[in-house]
A and B are shown apart, each in its own frame.
Chain A
Amino acid sequence: MTSAIHTRGDTSSLWRSRYGTRRAWLFLLPPLVLMIACVAWPTVFLVWLSTQKWDGLGSMTFVGLNNFARVFADDRFWIAIQNNIKWSVASAIIPPLIGLALAILLSRTRIRGRGAFRIVYFVPQIVASAIVAVIWRWIYAPEGPVNAVLGALGVENPPLWLADADVALMAVFIAYAWVTFGFSMLIFETAIRSIDEELFDAARVDGATFLGEVRHILLPGIRPAIATVLIVSTIWSFQIFDLIYLTTAGGPGDATQVLSIGIYSSMFSARDVGRGAAMALILLAVIVTLASLVAFGRSRREGRP
């Protein structure tokens, strides 16, 4: 190919190859420059920083892979990884299940105005983490609503929730599930509505039960949507920062410690930039691995005739 522009084999290719060659780059240049400055360069710089001992102010010292060795030898890192894994497994199960139940309910209930219910059910998804944190810190407060109800039910010594190392992670996760189920609901509902109604009618003629219809028609019919939701939920969940930082800040002790909080506190509290950079690269590796599994799965699916 001699022209710099490949067209779609239409009549205008000649014109475009002469006219658009250099101009076309002018369209790509502005976004490309910004992404190089704020994404590509920082990624390279991150790799460099992960090999340095640096307090953020003085001079840097090259330490090779020592930062990684320190991270891997650190118990807190492994606590964070465990919490991240628990969090992600829960994120791939609980909000999607709530979303699926609501999606089935919304799409199979014949009632006027159900579109309005979908809009209402989605509201938590648009509430900022900073606000969500205020809400749930009060809900879980020692004198707050949850313990007031438990007290009224006669429960003595109810847990301190966010201040209790045994349940804090679960307590924050409940708030997270409240925010995120709307996304799964939306994807599932759209998928369910694209299933051919005749399949359900045929099943009913065959005497299928409600659960039978869900199992044999509905779930197989939304398989791509299930894959999308699981993947997106997992990738998102690994980046969790705001909600945990604003409710427990990783505590009590290290009970809700996660990678992103470790990165942040390495930089700002511990002044140990190299360590933070090493942890950020580990987080990057996890996310890119998850995403490539997805891309691999998707290309295999699409490759099938």
Chain B
Amino acid sequence: MRRIGRGGALARFASLAAIALAILYPLVILVFTAFKTPGDLITNPTGPPSEWTFANFVQAWTQAGMATLMVNSLIVSGGVVVGTVILSSLGGFALGRLRLRGTGVLPLLLTIGLVLPFEVLMIPLFYSFRAVGLLDSYLSMILPQVALGLPFGILLLRSFIAELPQDFFDAAEIDGAGLWNQYRHVAMPLARPALVALAVLELIWSWNQYLVALVMVQDPHLRTIPLGLSLFVGRHESNYTALAAAAVIALVPSLILYIVFHREALRANLAGALK
């Protein structure tokens, strides 16, 4: 097939760079807005600030309680990632390695579970958690996300573990390794790529998750970043410079994570195409 752009390498680079700029432009506008004074924003809505100010960030950081939001997001996302990875690996090992009687129907049920969104279950989950007194807790945000992530996680790990060579497990067995040791010392190290993909995907999903926190949490001390940001927006309707600063602060952790894990994130999104 013909290569696109028969001009020089420079022209090709320029066109790809121009597209990159267009895609990133909404984020660039956000950053510009965050550094402007409100007066500057009105006369100059699109360009860079005429003078850069940090006042918006100070206002956003203190009034939106960003420090608390970040700690809460870390706890909730950490819990979701650890919970989903451990439970998925257990279930994936059981279904991929050990054919249990009566579990033939499980993969089918899990496939249905793949497409179940929180939107469908928010009403019964809210009233169930209320009934057992678990509303307004980290668990009320962590457990539903883990549970809804498990069908994907288990199916991913199951197919990965099922394709591992039988010889490894046989060798471990001859050495006297029980099921737990086969799981712990054979399956888990070999399944590392799948575990990492699952962890990165869950991290992105749960870090950005808004509705679960909105439904499950009233207590201001438990709000996550997306929920806290949206409530800050509600209180400062058209104070766009402060809102933009809060959004930039909220964006920084995601961007850092993406820069560090971009390889895994792209690969994981391919693996997640089924979800």
Q: For the complex formed, measure the closest distance between the CB of B175 and the CB atoms of chain A, giving whole angstroms.
A: 12
- When the two chains form their complex, are residues B119 and A5 in contact, meaning their CB atoms are under 8 A apart? no
Cβ-neighbour of B273 out of A141, A201, A213, A228 (below 8 A): A228
Docked CA distance A283–B240 (Å)? 35
> How many chain B residues touch the partner (CB < 8 A)?
99
What are the residues of chain B within 8 A of A106 when measuring CB–CB? 16
If A42-B121, A135-B247, A267-B123 touch, does A108 touch B1 (CB 8 Å cutoff)? yes
- Assess the B148–A130 pair: CB atoms within 8 A: no
| Interface 1/0 per residue, B235-275 and A, CB below 8 Å | 00010100110110011001101100010011001100111
Query: Is the CB of B190 closer than 8 A to any CB of chain A?
Result: no
B16 to chain A, nearest CB (A): 5
Which B-chain residue is minimally distant from A243 (CB atoms)? B210
Cβ of A267 to closest chain B Cβ, rounded Å = 5
A239 touches which of B3, B117, B247, B250 (Cβ 8 Å): B117
B269 touches A27 (CB 8 A): no
* B128 adjacent to chain A (CB < 8 Å): yes
Measured between beta carbons, the chain A residues less than 8 angstroms from B9 are 111-112
Q: At the interface with chain B, which of A8-16, A75-83, A88-96, A164-172?
A: A8-16
Asked whether, in the complex, the Cβ of A109 is within 8 Å of the Cβ of B4, the reply is yes
Count of chain A to chain B residue pairs whose CB atoms are closer than 8 Å in the complex: 306
Task: Name B20's closest neighbour in chain A (CB-CB).
Answer: A120
The answer on a CB contact under 8 Å between B121 and A46 is yes
Of the stretches B48-56, B165-173, B191-199, the one at the interface is B165-173
Q: Is B78 an interface residue (CB 8 A)?
A: no
Min CB–CB distance A38 → chain B (angstroms): 3
B240 neighbours in A (Cβ, 8 Å): 137-138, 141, 144
Task: Tell me the bound Cα distance from A58 to B127 in angstroms.
Answer: 13
| Shortest beta-carbon distance from A280 to chain B in Å | 5
**Complex Cα gap A125–B103 (Å):** 36
Contacting pair A283 B120 (CB below 8 A)? yes
Interface of B is mostly: helix
Query: What bracket does the count of chain A residues touching chain B fall in?
Result: 35 or more
Cβ contacts under 8 Å, A20 to chain B: 98, 179
Which of chain A's residues has its CB closest to B146's CB?
Answer: A34
A169-186 interface mask toward B, CB cutoff 8 Å, 1 = contact, 0 = none? 000000000100001001
B120 touches A284 (CB 8 A): yes
Q: Is B186 an interface residue (CB 8 A)?
A: no
Q: Pick from B100, B114, B126, B128: contact of A28, CB below 8 A.
A: B100
Q: A12-B169, A24-B98 are in contact. List 14 more A-B contacts (CB 8 A).
A: A12-B170, A27-B98, A35-B113, A119-B266, A121-B19, A124-B27, A126-B265, A133-B230, A141-B238, A204-B1, A228-B274, A264-B122, A267-B126, A283-B120
| 12 A-B pairs with C-beta separation under 8 A | A4-B100, A25-B94, A34-B146, A38-B144, A38-B148, A111-B13, A126-B265, A129-B208, A133-B230, A228-B273, A241-B211, A295-B111
Residues of chain B having any CB pair with chain A under 8 Å: 1-5, 9, 12-13, 16-17, 19-20, 23-24, 26-27, 29-30, 33, 42, 45-46, 87-88, 90-91, 93-95, 98-101, 103, 111-117, 119-128, 143-144, 146-148, 150-151, 154, 166, 169-170, 173, 178-180, 183, 204, 207-208, 210-211, 215, 225-227, 229-230, 233, 238, 240, 243-244, 246-247, 250-251, 254-255, 257-258, 262, 265-266, 269-270, 273-275
Q: Which residues of A contact B (CB under 8 A)?
A: 1, 4-8, 10-12, 15-16, 19-20, 23-25, 27-28, 30-32, 34-35, 37-39, 41-43, 45-46, 49, 56, 102, 104-106, 108-114, 117-131, 133-139, 141, 143-145, 148-149, 178, 183, 186-187, 190, 197, 200-201, 203-204, 210, 213, 217-218, 228, 232, 235, 239, 241-242, 246, 259-260, 263-264, 267, 273, 276-277, 280-281, 283-284, 287-288, 290-291, 295
